[in-house]
């Protein structure tokens, strides 16, 4: 007799309470959360998990009690919490401009970040910035702010990669822009 797996028909339901000062809408697989700091949209299309919204509550429901569905619900909950935090306060990433050998000039204008005189280079390095984030430079710090955590993190990583020098010893050539704080968490 072949092994038969136990099929569980346990229903998993998870409800998330939302603050009063945000608006929630879910249409065509896109969840939109709008708050004082901005609006965050994200596509949620899962096979076994349904999402429903009603008077400041988001309900995640799975008809099967599978382990994968439970893990996926945890991931979706983390995404939803990031969306709520971003719509209320925004996400802030901080980068430090380090120039030990050559004085580096970093500026933002017309949605472009420009790094001039990086390690004595004559041609400036230019990064096209996304519309959904705000980039400010104060002294030797760069602040990237956005209601969407993924966009803020991606722009910060792009800035860090803009000044990357492969095949150089980072203990000696420490010039560049480096992430020092990810959404309030200090990096060491």
For 70-103, give the DSSP string: HHHHHHHHHHHHHHHHHHHT-EEEEEEEE-SSS-
User: Residues 144, 154: contact at Cβ < 8 Å?
Assistant: no
More confident residue, 184 or 75: 75
More confident residue, 101 or 187: 187
Confidence of residue 4 (pLDDT cuts 50, 70, 90): very low
Q: How far apart are the first and last CA of the chain?
A: 58
User: Which helix (H) or strand (E) is 152 found in, with range?
Assistant: helix 149-162
User: Residues 25, 53: contact at Cβ < 8 Å?
Assistant: yes
Structure confidence at residue 6 (pLDDT): 47
Tokens read off for 62: 């799975």
Structure confidence at residue 89 (pLDDT): 93
Q: How far apart are CA 166 and CA 86, in angstroms?
A: 34
Structure confidence at residue 126 (pLDDT): 96
Q: Which one, of 97, 95, 93, lies nearest residue 118 by Cα?
A: 97
Tokens read off for 159: 């800035």
Structure confidence at residue 11 (pLDDT): 84
Domains annotated on the chain, with CATH: 12-88 (3.90.930.12), 91-186 (3.90.930.12)
Q: In whole angstroms, how far apart are CA 123 and each of 91, 97, 99, 115, 160?
A: 32, 18, 17, 9, 18
Q: What is the DSSP letter of 120?
A: G
Which residue bears the tokens 């959404």? Answer: 183
Tokens read off for 26: 């879910």
Tokens read off for 138: 């104060």
For residue 74, how many other CB atoms are within 10 A of its CB? 12
Mean pLDDT over each residue of the chain, to the nearest integer: 89
């Amino acid at each position: 007799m072949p092994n038969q797996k136990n099929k569980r028909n346990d229903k998993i339901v998870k409800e998330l309470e939302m603050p009063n000062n945000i608006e929630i809408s879910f249409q065509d697989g896109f969840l939109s959360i709008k708050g004082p700091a901005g609006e965050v949209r994200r596509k949620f299309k899962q096979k076994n998990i349904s999402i429903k919204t009603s008077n400041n509550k988001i309900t995640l429901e799975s008809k099967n009690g599978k382990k994968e569905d439970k893990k996926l619900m945890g991931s979706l909950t983390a995404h939803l919490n990031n969306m709520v935090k971003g719509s209320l306060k925004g996400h802030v990433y901080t980068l430090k401009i380090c120039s030990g050998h050559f004085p580096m000039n970093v500026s933002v204008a017309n949605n472009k970040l420009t790094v001039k005189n990086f390690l004595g280079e004559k041609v400036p390095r230019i990064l096209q910035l996304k519309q959904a984030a705000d980039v400010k430079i104060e002294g030797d710090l760069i602040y990237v702010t956005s209601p969407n955590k993924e966009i803020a993190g991606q722009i910060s990583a792009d800035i860090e990669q803009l000044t990357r020098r492969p095949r150089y010893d980072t203990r000696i050539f420490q010039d560049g822009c480096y992430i020092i704080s990810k959404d309030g968490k200090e990096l060491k």
